[in-house]
Each structure stands twice: as structure tokens, then as C-alpha cells.
Amino acid sequence: MTRIAIYPGSFDPPTRGHEDLIRRSLLLTDRLIVAVAVNVAKQPLFSVEERLAMLRAAIGDDARVEFVAFEGLLAEFARQQGASVVIRGLRAVSDFEYEFQMALMNRQLHPALETVFLVPALDLTYLSSSLVREVARFGGEVSALVHPVVAEALRARFAK
Ligand code: PNS
């Protein structure tokens, strides 16, 4: 039986932390669906297509990984995709409450769907897309925090 996992998120933009989580996830699953959420409450910096393209560039070709956009409930999307596992990264205690709530709500909506939390590499635990956006917005150096394709996209976006 092929085990399918979903790694959902906003990825606005993808960071080295997301890349790390994707590589770690591949140790646990046969197929990984990296799922970019279309309808997040906040206005994203990058379009879904841009975020998907950046993820593809950062991860490269791997037959086990698929990059897709999804709209609506994650639990429903997981059901449609035949996924049995949701992967989320847990960076700090501050992540815990929201992640715990989300995992329990997803279980309420789809009891067979398990959430697995992965711990990122220590040197990436302080990293978040929102911090990367803020640093880049004010011209700070982000090249150590994101793939070069993402760094270039941020430069271009904030050069305007
Ligand atoms: O990278 P993020 O912003 O922390 O990702 C959050 C995301 C997109 C995984 C979450 O908001 C989500 O699953 N959205 C889809 C809508 C949904 O299912 N909401 C209920 C979650 S319990």
C-alpha cells in the first residue's frame, strides 16, 4: 500500500525551513503532496502559481513529491487525495496551541487522518515566512534563509 502524506501551508514564500520539512517528510512517506492553500485570511505577497513555482525550483525533480494548490478544507482535500497523514512543522512552544487545535479539528472532520509533527533543523527553528517577508521588505539580507529563486522573487517584489 502506498502511503500518501500532505504537507499543507501558505508557503508565502517558501523558506529553507519548509525545504527541510519536505526532505524530512520523505523519510516517512512514499508520496508527498505539498499543498499550497489558496484561501488564507491574509492577503498573500505571492500568488499561488508563484508559490508553487518557487517550491518546485527549491525542491527540484523528485518523483515522490507533487506540488498542488488547494481550496477549502484541508480535511476534505486529504480525503480526495487518499492521504492518511498531514505533516506540520513544530518550531517552538508558540506554535503548539494553534497546531494542536488544527490537528484536533482536522481529526473531528476526518477521523482517519493523522497529524504528524516534525521538528525542523535547529538552525532553522527561528525562521518563518512572515519574518522573511518583513526582512526582505526593508531590504535586509535573506539569502541564507531562502532558495536563491525565492530571494530573487522577493528582491523583485520589493524593488517596485
Ligand atoms: O503555513 P500556514 O499559514 O501555517 O498554513 C495553515 C494552513 C493553510 C495549513 C491552514 O490554515 C489550513 O489547513 N487551511 C485550509 C482550511 C482549513 O482546513 N481550515 C481548518 C483547519 S482546522
Check which CATH number belongs to the domain holding 84 and give it.
3.40.50.620
Output the residue whose Cα is nearest ligand 1's atom 8: 9
Cβ of 104 below 6 Å from ligand 1:
no
Per-residue pLDDT for 140 more than 70? yes
Q: What is the mean pLDDT of the chain?
A: 96
Q: What are 44-100's pLDDT values in tens digits?
A: 999 999 999 999 999 999 999 999 999 999 999 999 999 999 999 999 888 999 999
Per-residue pLDDT for 122 more than 80? yes
Q: Which domain holds residue 80?
A: 4-159
Ligand 1 centroid vs 10 CA: distance in angstroms? 8
To test the pocket of ligand 1, the residue of 102, 105, 108 to mutate (highest count of ligand atoms within 8 Å of its CB) is 102
Cβ of 10 below 6 Å from ligand 1:
yes
110 catalytically annotated: no
Q: What are 91-110's pLDDT values in tens digits?
A: 988 899 999 999 999 999 99
Lowest mean pLDDT among 12-21, 40-49, 146-155: 40-49
To test the pocket of ligand 1, the residue of 6, 7, 10 to mutate (highest count of ligand atoms within 8 Å of its CB) is 10
What is the rounded average pLDDT of the residues 111-134? Answer: 96
133 catalytically annotated: no
107 catalytically annotated: no
User: How many domains, the chain?
Assistant: 1
Model pLDDT, residue 49: 97
Output the residue whose Cα is nearest ligand 1's atom 7: 9
Give the 3-state DSSP-derived string for the chain, with helices as H, strands as E and coil as C.
Answer: CCCEEEEEECCCCCCHHHHHHHHHHCCCCCEEEEEEECCCCCCCCCCHHHHHHHHHHHHCCCCCEEEEEECCCHHHHHHHHCCCEEEEECCCHHHHHHHHHHHHHHHHHCCCCEEEEECCCHHHCCCCHHHHHHHHHCCCCCCCCCCHHHHHHHHHHHHC
Cβ of 15 below 6 Å from ligand 1:
no
Per-residue pLDDT for 40 more than 70? no
What is the rounded average pLDDT of the residues 6-26? Answer: 98
Model pLDDT, residue 27: 96
What is the rounded average pLDDT of the residues 15-25? Answer: 98
